Amino acid sequence: MDNREYSYFQAFKQIARTANSPLPLKSVLNAAAKSAAKGLKAAGCSIMLLNPQKEYLDVISAYGLSDLYIRKGVLKANKSLPEVLNGELVAIFDFAQDERTQYPDAAEMEGISSVLAAPIMQKGEVIGEIRIYTREPRQFSQVDKDFLTAVANIVAVSLEKNELYQVLKTEHEETVTKRRKLVETPKLPSSSLRPSSFGHPSEQEFAKLLDFYRIEWLHEPRSFPLAWQDGKVVEMFTPDFYLPELDLYIELTTLKQSLITEKNRKLRRLRELYPDISIKLLNKSDYLRLLAKYGYGGLGGTKVKGVDRVLFSHTQIQRRVKALAKRISHDYMGRKLVLVGILKGVMCFMADLMQHITLPLNVDFMSISYYGTNNESAVKITKDLDISIAGLDVLMVEDIVDTGMTLNYVLNHLAAHNPASLHVCTLLDKRVRRLVDVPLDYIGFEIPDEFIVGYGLDYHGEYRNLPFIGMLKPELIEEEGKK
Ligand code: PRP
């Protein structure tokens, strides 16, 4: 075995041993980054994961790189070596000059010459990448590439093992406490990959609040150099958070006046040097107000009382509604579209949906009430349509389809008025509770058997004005009231 092969072997042995140890995931990844750099006799290594929407890469572990380089800014996934995100290995000889490099100045300052990047794949899908950085220009050999691919595979297995462990742990805890089944919601980055220690408890509290409202965040992704001496950075500023959905940096403050003055000075400088950057200095009451302004939270309050967790954030709902409207606009092109909604739950969804449909259309509403007869309950129309739908293309819009009884009744009623076509669009589909099989043509989200409120949906008349959809705390639900 020659020298180089021996170095690979040693590095590989170390990575495999740590991966199979009881160490926390963060330590496993740090060890992998270090051993990969050493094995390849390179200056540094970083391991990055894609966020759930696959929009940007988040550095979760690094070795041999300066803080300034690690926090050089958000790495947009589509701009950042797109070949790697297509599952290919990429070797770049002159990294600072390559047009794919998002921060060439930072690479030059860091003294990076060449880069080798390999995809981290799980179940045939790219979930991140591992990069090796060298100070000297280097043509990577096939053995270098094979080695990095093997390391990427071990990292993938370690991540999967950790996820599995997290799920098993949660399931166990839920069985013990007889909690409801784990709800399938869009994933946020795994909490085990979040910073284990924040600089200040207020940061952790803010992060929890962002998680509650399902707002994506990155902790300290970018350091901004503020002052230089002899070409070297002598002062920099690292905002606590970056919120990609709002393209906003956040720096939290405590009430210590001396610190606030200093932070204000740095912020002024940052705004002078980087006028395109949007940053806010927030204390606690400020950030609650900010969340409310961007459509999260209840009128500037803290977590909404009675809501256990947020199932779909304002942004997630808006994205989905826009996608549905786009499909509807395409499908109904050149037809006479009428949207029909049943009051009151549908009001938020209808208002947003119709604004994104790019066709001329008409809107009408119906009201119904449920009443009990001797031994069965029945539905009665309390407000019928104002317009005639004969010969028109009717799209029934519902906030939620649960048992399907309401929709079944209303569809039969509408069909009797001879529309040209009759289809259904529902934001939420609680399929597990279906009693009547109703055809659903456009579905926003399929949801589990949980009591949900917000975005038009109520519990005893309350919560309709929440801009998100949340799960009501189970202890608040009266047994008969499940919807
Ligand atoms: C909800 C919803 C649907 C119906 C679906 O209305 O708006 O119309 O329930 O339930 P189903 O599939 O079991 O028939 P709700 O009775 O809560 O009245 P609201 O819209 O005024 O809140």
**What b/e string do you get for 221-242 counting C-beta neighbours within 10 Å, with b at 16 or more?**
bbbbbbeeeeeeeeebbbbbbb
Nearest-atom index, ligand 1, CA of 370: 16
Q: What is the pLDDT of residue 373?
A: 60
Question: Considering only CA atoms, which residue is closest to atom 15 of ligand 1?
Answer: 345
Tokens of 305: 């009382």
Question: Considering only CA atoms, which residue is closest to atom 21 of ligand 1?
Answer: 344
Q: What is the pLDDT of residue 183?
A: 34
Q: What is the pLDDT of residue 64?
A: 94
How far apart CA 165 and CA 179 sit, in angstroms, is: 19
Q: What is the pLDDT of residue 237?
A: 92
Q: Which residues does ligand 1 sit against, CB inside 6 Å?
A: 342-346, 398-407, 458, 483
How far apart CA 226 and CA 243 sit, in angstroms, is: 22
**336 half-sphere exposure, CB direction, 13 A CA radius:** 8
Q: What is the pLDDT of residue 476?
A: 74
Going by C-alpha positions, the residue among 317, 366, 363, 311 that lies closest to residue 344 is: 366
State the 10-residue block means of pLDDT for the chain, 483 residues long: 77 85 84 93 92 81 91 83 87 89 89 94 90 94 93 90 59 40 38 57 79 80 88 88 87 76 89 92 72 56 70 90 96 96 96 97 94 66 95 97 91 95 97 89 92 92 89 71 46
Catalytic residue among 402, 429, 437, 441: 402
Residue of 365, 401, 443 best suited for mutating to test ligand 1, as the one with most atoms within 8 Å of CB = 401
Q: What is the pLDDT of residue 478?
A: 62
Question: Could you tell me which residues come within 8 angstroms of residue 177 by beta carbon, excluding any fewer than 6 positions away?
Answer: none
Tokens of 344: 């009151």
Going by C-alpha positions, the residue among 85, 18, 22 that lies closest to residue 51 is: 85
How far apart CA 414 and CA 384 sit, in angstroms, is: 10
Distance 400 CA to ligand 1 centre (A): 7
How far apart CA 481 and CA 370 sit, in angstroms, is: 14
Question: Considering only CA atoms, which residue is closest to atom 14 of ligand 1?
Answer: 406
pTM of this prediction exceeds 0.75: no
**What is the DSSP annotation of 274-334?**
-TT--EEEE-HHHHHHHHHHTT-SSTT-SSPTTEEEEEE-HHHHHHHHHHHHHHHHHHTTT
Catalytic (active site) residue 276 = no
How far apart CA 216 and CA 235 sit, in angstroms, is: 28
**What b/e string do you get for 100-132 counting C-beta neighbours within 10 Å, with b at 16 or more?**
ebebeebbebbebbbbbbbbbbeeeebbbbbbb
Task: Let me know how many helices (H) and strands (E) the chain has, helices first.
Answer: 12, 21
Domains in the chain, please, with CATH? Answer: 3-184 (3.30.450.40), 201-298 (3.40.960), 310-482 (3.40.50.2020)
**What is the DSSP annotation of 335-359?**
S-EEEEEETTTTHHHHHHHHHH--S
Q: What is the dihedral of CA 192, 196, 198, 201, to 10 degrees?
A: 90
Residue of 347, 400, 425, 455 best suited for mutating to test ligand 1, as the one with most atoms within 8 Å of CB = 400
